[in-house]
Chain A
Amino acid sequence: LAKTTQPISMDSYEGQEVNITCSHNNIATNDYITWYQQFPSQGPRFIIQGYKTKVTNEVASLFIPADRKSSTLSLPRVSLSDTAVYYCLVGDDNNDMRFGAGTRLTVKP
């Protein structure tokens, strides 16, 4: 299983773009990269998933360099409601879905 490393916490201000990077040096060929968001007292929810290059949806973008040893979740123009914990998961066809410690993002007014 690929081990992931993320910053423990990040602070930002409303309206700014936030980039959270996840390191996964031993990512395997078939591994996908998935990001989840968790608000207090709630279960995590899916944000975005990608394999290589760039993926964009209505809430975020995911940038994956050619070597795939890291990935960056980009949240455009954050608001106070984006304050949450963000988790990066790396896995392929294995069923063992393990979360790391995540990154606690605090958005300030």
Chain B
Amino acid sequence: NAGVTQTPKFRVLKTGQSMTLLCAQDMNHEYMYWYRQDPGMGLRLIHYSVGEGTTAKGEVPDGYNVSRLKKQNFLLGLESAAPSQTSVYFCASKDSLREKLFFGSGTQLSVL
């Protein structure tokens, strides 16, 4: 039982490049979330999904897109990376409305 798995763990991009971060959970959870965390700061919600085929904006959605084509996967895309998107990205999932969040180990992204 792997829980929440994020790939890749590290990535370096040049400004303007695109990439997709993958989050996979094997707990059959309905809800999935993408956060970013800048050094010394708290987590900020980018986008979230309340079920397969649904997505919604969080606090800082600009510059990111997401898709939830399968219940177990939540993809975060950067169409044109900017240095301001250098951060650690965390994915999380939960089973129902008041259940606890389970987090992945994070993706360290650097945009040069």
**A32 adjacent to B105 (CB under 8 Å):** no
* Cβ contacts under 8 Å, A45 to chain B: 103
Known A34-B100, A43-B105, A45-B103; contact A98-B50, beta-carbon cutoff 8 A: no
* Cβ contacts under 8 Å, A96 to chain B: 45, 48, 56, 58
| Residues of B75-112 whose CB lies within 8 A of A | 88, 90, 92, 94, 97-98, 100-101, 103-106
Known A95-B31, A98-B58, A99-B35; contact A49-B103, beta-carbon cutoff 8 A: no
Partner of A44, one of B41, B43, B98: B43
> Which partner residue on chain A sits nearest B97 by CB separation?
A93
* Cβ contacts under 8 Å, B42 to chain A: 85, 87, 99-102
* In the bound complex, CA of A61 to CA of B60 (Å): 32
* 11 pairs of residues in contact across A and B, judged by CB atoms under 8 Å: A32-B98, A34-B100, A42-B105, A43-B90, A43-B106, A44-B101, A92-B97, A95-B50, A95-B97, A96-B58, A97-B45
* Cβ contacts under 8 Å, A29 to chain B: none
CB distance from B60 to the nearest CB of A (A): 10
B interface residues, Cβ below 8 angstroms from A? 4, 31, 33, 35, 41-45, 48, 50, 56, 58-59, 88, 90, 92, 94, 97-98, 100-101, 103-106
A interface residues, Cβ below 8 angstroms from B? 32, 34, 36, 41-46, 49, 85, 87, 92-93, 95-102
Output the residue of B31, B33, B43, B58 with the most chain A CB within 10 A. Answer: B43
> Which partner residue on chain A sits nearest B42 by CB separation?
A101
CB distance from A62 to the nearest CB of B (A): 13
Known A99-B42, A100-B42, A101-B41; contact A43-B104, beta-carbon cutoff 8 A: yes
**A98 adjacent to B59 (CB under 8 Å):** yes
* Cβ contacts under 8 Å, A98 to chain B: 44-45, 58-59
CB distance from B57 to the nearest CB of A (A): 9
**A97 adjacent to B103 (CB under 8 Å):** no
**A97 adjacent to B106 (CB under 8 Å):** no
* In the bound complex, CA of A83 to CA of B35 (Å): 22
